[in-house]
Amino acid sequence: MISRRILTLALLLAPNWASPTATSPSMLPPTVASSSTDIAAVQVNQLARSALNLALDIVINNTTSQESGGCTMEKLRVRRDWRAFSRAQKRAYIESVLCLTHLPSSTPAKDARGAKNRYDDFVAVHIVKSDFVHRTGAFLSWHRYFVHGFEQTLRNECGYTGDFPYWNWGADTEDMTKSEVFDGSDTSLSGNGAFIPNQPDISVDMAGYPRLNFTAGTGGGCMTSGPFQDYTVDMGPSTLSMPGGNVSSMSNPLDYNPRCLKRSLTTSILQRYANYTAIAQLILNYHDIWDFETVLQGVPGSGLGVHGGGHYAMGGDPGRDMDVSPADPAFWHHHGMIDRVWWIWQHLDLDDRQQAISGTGTFMNQPPSPNTTLDTMVDLGLAVRGAPVAMRELMSTTAGPFCYVYL
Ligand SMILES: *[C@@H]1O[C@H](CO)[C@@H](O)[C@H](O)[C@H]1NC(C)=O
Ligand SMILES: *[C@@H]1O[C@H](CO)[C@@H](O)[C@H](O)[C@H]1NC(C)=O
Ligand SMILES: *[C@@H]1O[C@H](CO)[C@@H](O)[C@H](O)[C@H]1NC(C)=O
Ligand SMILES: *[C@@H]1O[C@H](CO)[C@@H](O)[C@H](O)[C@H]1NC(C)=O
Ligand SMILES: *[C@@H]1O[C@H](CO)[C@@H](O)[C@H](O)[C@H]1NC(C)=O
Ligand SMILES: *[C@@H]1O[C@H](CO)[C@@H](O)[C@H](O)[C@H]1NC(C)=O
């Protein structure tokens, strides 16, 4: 079995892709997160490799899938760290995202007046669904489906043929401006915003819990370089945290409000919430789905978690806007990593974790709503093609609508 698996892994690594740096698959994965971020980095790699081995076994063994046209090794896609992409591969991904911004919107103006292009269709959906897909039972699975819908649209409408990326937060906690995702080069998603001096702190107010205050970061203004310098954010703001503690919102965030993409890279936030130790702790310390997803999204009043940490570390507008955040093209890299962390966590105990759901259908259960179950139907909505599916279809990345693994 082992040799068959290693053989198939080699097949996944097409020659033009860099090999992963994970350790030997025979090593036992760790059970306790190291407080050394260097060791924790190796641990996260080991956990990911162990998840990959199991996921490949399941695909190889699944005869039903082979007979029914489901997910097979031939169809399986690999999602990769942006740092494993070559220059040409990065450019191909970036071009396909820019392509979406040049295609017409499919959303009728009556549904979202501000949706001006195909990329905006995704932003509009996220604004409309926001209160039902954050701090609800569907947070992880809905976003898995949403990112997949974006990936499919890049492939079907912009001819993208490469692998889908993720942003490996832990690699960038020394200095976000040197991140391959955010360094401002033509192979990044553009970088920092122009520096705006003397900005007061950001203050995150969540539903009456104690506020969390953070520095406003190292930028704040429009992109100064890179592929997204001329890109426009067309909708929102909706729930945008402003320096000084106010929240900026339009009366209708779906209205047209074109403006530049702003960032304020904040390494200190990424370092505090999304370093390798934080990632390893999240994966290893929480055994119950409620605990896992709550810590991942940030325990209200006490932290941002890796999810909020990544968004607030990008900063700016819409990086600090829960509803409009997909309008920052780095959203997809960030949520690729969120999905990867969930995928690793699930594979540590598939029997108990693959189908585990906790939470209701409304943001922090306000207003109160029924528990989300495997039978709860979710969809992407508006003009984003994602048919209604039962939650149970979204729990495995190698079944239902999905056929991918992470390296
Ligand atoms: C896959 O099949 C092999 C051979 O029958 C078996 O040893 C292995 O445990 C199976 N793996 C999984 C994950 O079911
Ligand atoms: C096997 O494949 C079928 C069809 O794609 C799928 O419904 C099922 O969930 C898969 N089983 C596992 C264990 O992944
Ligand atoms: C916050 O909003 C209030 C009320 O609109 C305004 O008076 C105040 O100046 C704003 N503070 C900042 C820092 O923008
Ligand atoms: C956080 O910032 C808000 C808004 O500027 C301020 O009112 C509050 O006192 C700050 N809290 C702490 C703990 O510094
Ligand atoms: C790494 O993350 C953990 C968990 O969020 C945090 O307690 C720790 O202080 C962070 N380390 C650094 C160097 O910021
Ligand atoms: C909803 O889930 C919570 C937490 O798991 C549980 O305590 C509660 O009994 C569930 N409610 C219903 C109506 O099933």
Q: Of 318, 316, 356, whose CA–CA distance to 126 is shortest?
A: 318
Query: Which ligand sits closest to the CA of 347?
Result: 1
pTM (predicted TM-score): 0.95
Q: For residue 12, what pLDDT band results from cuts at 50, 70 and 90?
A: low
Our measurement of the distance from residue 139's CA atom to the centroid of its chain's CA atoms, rounded to an integer in Å, reads: 11
Q: For residue 207, what pLDDT band results from cuts at 50, 70 and 90?
A: confident
Which of 9-18, 72-81, 133-142 is predicted with the least confidence, judged by mean pLDDT? 9-18
Percent of the chain with pLDDT over 70: 93
End-to-end CA distance of the chain: 20
- Kind of pairing between the strands at 247-248 and 193-195: unpaired
Q: Of 378, 286, 334, 323, whose CA–CA distance to 123 is shortest?
A: 323
Q: How confident is the model over 19-62, as pLDDT tens digits?
A: 443 445 556 889 999 999 999 999 999 999 999 999 999 999 99
Under 8 Å between Cβ of 78 and 405:
yes
Question: What's the rounded Cα separation, in Å, for the pair 396 and 136?
Answer: 19
Quick one: pLDDT at residue 307? 98
The mean predicted confidence, pLDDT, of the chain is 94
How much is the average pLDDT of 95-102?
98
Quick one: pLDDT at residue 15? 42
2 lines ligand 1 (CB under 6 A): no
DSSP line for 249-309: --SSTTS---EE-B----HHHHHHHHSHHHHHHHHHH--SHHHHHHHHH--TTT--HHHHH
Best residue among 203, 206, 214 to mutate for probing ligand 4, ranked by most atoms within 8 Å of CB: 203
CB atoms within 10 A of CB 19: 10
Q: Measuring from atom 10 of ligand 4, which residue has the nearest CA?
A: 213
Show Cβ contacts of residue 360 under 8 Å, excluding neighbours closer than 6 positions: 136, 137, 368, 369, 370, 371, 372
